[in-house]
């Protein structure tokens, strides 16, 4: 990453627990083998069952959590929020400090349209942001932004 990123003065973020990132449009929540094994232990089920019930294979060979028919994450509960919060995948832990969100101020602003926690709350310094982004659990793909 750049020695002088555009967010060198830090970025504010405090999750409001609105649930937008766990619901809404179809998406992927990438999970590693270790994360699946950790989920299985947390849920008290065996590993094969956890794979079968909660994961799907992506085109690039990685695994994602599955979604409900309405595109909510399989572990999202309207009443309780994330039901696997202590063992949620890295991708969930590192949001919004993903490489995709940090690619430019415009990418950050676009991501913030769906995440009311971005731009509020405590200031996260550039070093901690970069540490999270470097291992954000995502594919690292940066979306093209639409041009009006």
Using the minimum distance from each CB to ligand SF4, give the nearer residue, 122 or 147: 122
Cα 80 to chain centroid distance, Å, stands at: 18
Binding mask 36-55 for ligand SF4 (x = CB under 6 A): --------------------
State the Cα–Cα distance between residues 38 and 118, nearest whole angstrom: 29
Asked if residues 66 and 74 have their Cβ atoms less than 8 Å apart, the reply is yes
Q: Does 15 bind ligand SF4 (CB under 6 A)?
A: yes
Phi first, then psi: what are they for 67, rounded to 5°? -115, 160
Using the minimum distance from each CB to ligand SF4, give the nearer residue, 18 or 34: 18
State the Cα–Cα distance between residues 76 and 93, nearest whole angstrom: 15
Using the minimum distance from each CB to ligand SF4, give the nearer residue, 94 or 103: 94
Buried b (16+ CB within 10 A) or exposed e, 18-31: ebebbbeeeeebbb
Residue among 11, 40, 63, 73 that touches ligand SF4 (CB under 6 A): 73
Segment contacting ligand SF4 (CB under 6 A): 42-50, 53-61, 75-83, 137-145? 75-83
Residue among 7, 11, 21, 103 that touches ligand SF4 (CB under 6 A): 21
State the Cα–Cα distance between residues 137 and 17, nearest whole angstrom: 20
Segment contacting ligand SF4 (CB under 6 A): 46-54, 56-64, 89-97, 98-106? 89-97
Asked if residues 137 and 30 have their Cβ atoms less than 8 Å apart, the reply is yes
Binding site for ligand SF4 (CB under 6 A): 15-22, 29, 73, 75-76, 82, 84, 88-89, 92, 95, 115-117
């Amino acid at each position: 990453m750049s020695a002088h990123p555009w967010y060198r003065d830090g970025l504010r973020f405090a999750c409001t627990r609105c649930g937008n990132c766990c619901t809404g449009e179809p998406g992927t929540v990438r999970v590693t083998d270790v994360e699946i094994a950790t989920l299985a232990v947390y849920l008290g089920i065996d590993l094969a069952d956890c794979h079968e019930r909660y994961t799907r294979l992506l085109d690039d060979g990685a695994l994602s959590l599955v979604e409900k028919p309405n595109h909510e994450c399989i572990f999202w509960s309207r009443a309780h929020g994330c039901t696997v919060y202590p063992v949620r995948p890295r991708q969930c832990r590192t949001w919004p400090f993903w490489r995709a969100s940090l690619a430019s101020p415009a990418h950050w602003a676009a991501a913030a349209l769906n995440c009311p926690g971005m731009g509020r709350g405590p200031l996260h310094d550039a070093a901690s942001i970069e540490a999270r982004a470097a291992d954000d659990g995502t594919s690292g793909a940066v979306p093209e932004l639409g041009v009006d």
